[in-house]
Amino acid sequence: MSTNPTTITTEPGTPFIDIERVVDAAPATVFRAYTEPDLVEQWLGPRSLSMKVEEFDARQGGSYRYVNTDDEGNTYGFRGVFHSVDKDERIIQTFEFDGAPGLVAIETATFEDLGDGRTRVRAHSVFPSVEARDGMAESGMEVGVNEGYERLDELVAKLDA
Residues near its own copies (CB under 8 A): 14-16, 60-63, 80-84, 90, 92, 94, 96, 102, 104-106, 108, 124, 126-128
**Beta carbons within 10 angstroms of residue 73's beta carbon:** 7
Q: Which is nearer to its own copies, 92 or 114 (CB)?
A: 92
Residues ≥6 apart with Cβ < 8 Å to 2: 23, 24, 153, 157
Q: Which is nearer to its own copies, 5 or 59 (CB)?
A: 59
Going by DSSP bridges, is the β-strand pair 6-9/16-23 parallel, antiparallel, or unpaired?
Answer: antiparallel
Q: Which is nearer to its own copies, 69 or 122 (CB)?
A: 122
Q: In angstroms, give the least distance from the CB of 143 to its own copies.
A: 26
Q: What share of the chain is helix, strand, coil (3-state, %, to 5)?
A: 25, 40, 30
Q: Which is nearer to its own copies, 93 or 155 (CB)?
A: 93
Going by DSSP bridges, is the β-strand pair 63-69/50-56 parallel, antiparallel, or unpaired?
Answer: antiparallel
Q: In angstroms, give the least distance from the CB of 81 to its own copies.
A: 5
Q: In angstroms, give the least distance from the CB of 40 to its own copies.
A: 18
Q: Which is nearer to its own copies, 82 or 149 (CB)?
A: 82
Q: In angstroms, give the least distance from the CB of 94 to its own copies.
A: 4
Q: In angstroms, give the least distance from the CB of 74 to its own copies.
A: 24
How far apart are the C-alpha atoms of 93 and 109, rounded to whole Å? 9
How far apart are the C-alpha atoms of 82 and 133, rounded to whole Å? 20
- In Å, how far are 6, 103, 121, 140 from 14, measured between CA atoms? 20, 15, 21, 18
